[in-house]
Amino acid sequence: MRGGIVQASLAYVIWGLFPLYFRLLHGVVALEVLAHRVVWSLVFLLGVLTVRRQWAWLGPALRNRRVLGLFLASSVLIATNWYVYIWAIGHGRVVDASLGYFITPLVNVLTGALVLKERLRPVQWLAVATAALGVAWLTWAQGTPPWIALVLAASFSTYGLLRKTATLGALEGLTLETLLLGPVALAGLGWAITQGQATFPGATLDLQGLLLLTGPLTAVPLLLFAGGARRIPLSLLGMLQYIGPTIQLALGVWLFHEPFAGARAQGFAIIWAACALFSAELWWRSRRTP
């Protein structure tokens, strides 16, 4: 269990520090960063599978239309999530991105109730309603909905729902998703190079190296998370998941000096209260359940 806590915590810390890394790619448009992230993730994952000789799953998965359909949908969702996140970091919206991952667990609960017909407990309903109140407050105060946070939360929650019903593990599932996205990413990079719009060919070696490292940087925390999630209770995992957005928020406010005061801070406080309710209820139930 101690090893699981370390693995899951390390995964969330890496995800929380992502803004530092993607800010180094500020000269590259978000769509090109996304394409590199897909391509080099695929290369890294194929290397891992080759070392582990873990190929038996691929043939049956490619022949199964239902599996392919599910992972085609999940690949579109994760690509959308990655793109919006990269765009937000590049445009100085780290705080908004952190909000998306604060509310994601609550959106997961709501998705389970609406789609899987899971019964929510009263405190869970209260947490969801409190988060909705916080989003409504931010919408009223800012004049527009916090669309970055909502897109990130909705895409990741729906992605999680599809992956929950899939038969492949974390490593195999991400490999299949990048296999499906890879041709599109390669075609986009090829077109950008022929049109002279790609950054990579004329970039410095440092920048090229940073783009190459987006592959392992994507896969490693996911594998750490998968390993940790198998070893620790859901209640503990539910509380650890706030490490990532907390780090992102701290970076956005204290390092990147994004505005965070007044009505905006009040909206976040309401949503934090919802997260606290959610975590406290998970912890309380874990203490009562043998």
Q: What are the pLDDT digits (tens) for 196-223?
A: 888 888 889 999 999 999 999 998 998 8
Average pLDDT rounded to a whole number, residues 225-246: 80
Q: Calculate the CA dihedral of residues 153, 49, 16, 177 and round it to 10 degrees.
A: -20
Average pLDDT rounded to a whole number, residues 36-45: 94
Q: Are 100 and 148 in contact (CB under 8 A)?
A: yes
Long-range contacts of 154-160 (CB under 8 A, 24+ apart): 154/107, 155/77, 155/78, 155/80, 155/81, 155/84, 156/77, 156/81, 156/100, 156/101, 156/104, 157/104, 157/107, 157/108, 157/111, 158/77, 158/111, 159/74, 159/77, 159/78, 159/81, 160/108, 160/111
Average pLDDT rounded to a whole number, residues 126-155: 92
Q: Which domain holds residue 190?
A: 2-288
Can you tell me the distance from the alpha carbon of 152 to that of 244, in angstroms, rounded to the nearest whole number?
A: 14
Write down the pLDDT at residue 94.
Answer: 96
Q: What confidence tier does 234 reach under pLDDT thresholds 50, 70, 90?
A: low
Average pLDDT rounded to a whole number, residues 118-131: 87
What's the mean per-residue pLDDT of the chain? 89
On the question of pLDDT at 8 being above 90, the answer is no
- In this structure, the chain runs to a length of 290
On the question of pLDDT at 286 being above 80, the answer is no
Phi/psi at 29 (5° precision): -65, 155
Q: What is the DSSP string of 136-156?
A: HHHHHHHSS--HHHHHHHHHH
3-state secondary structure of 264: helix
Q: What confidence tier does 282 reach under pLDDT thresholds 50, 70, 90?
A: confident
On the question of pLDDT at 287 being above 80, the answer is no
pLDDT above 90 as % of the chain: 59
pLDDT digits (tens, 9 = 90+) for 165-187: 777 888 898 999 999 999 999 99
Overall pTM surpassing 0.75 (yes/no) = yes
Write down the pLDDT at residue 290.
Answer: 58
Q: Are 177 and 44 in contact (CB under 8 A)?
A: no
Q: What confidence tier does 235 reach under pLDDT thresholds 50, 70, 90?
A: low
- Number of structural domains found in the chain: 1
Q: What confidence tier does 289 reach under pLDDT thresholds 50, 70, 90?
A: low
Can you tell me the distance from the alpha carbon of 84 to that of 88, in angstroms, rounded to the nearest whole number?
A: 6
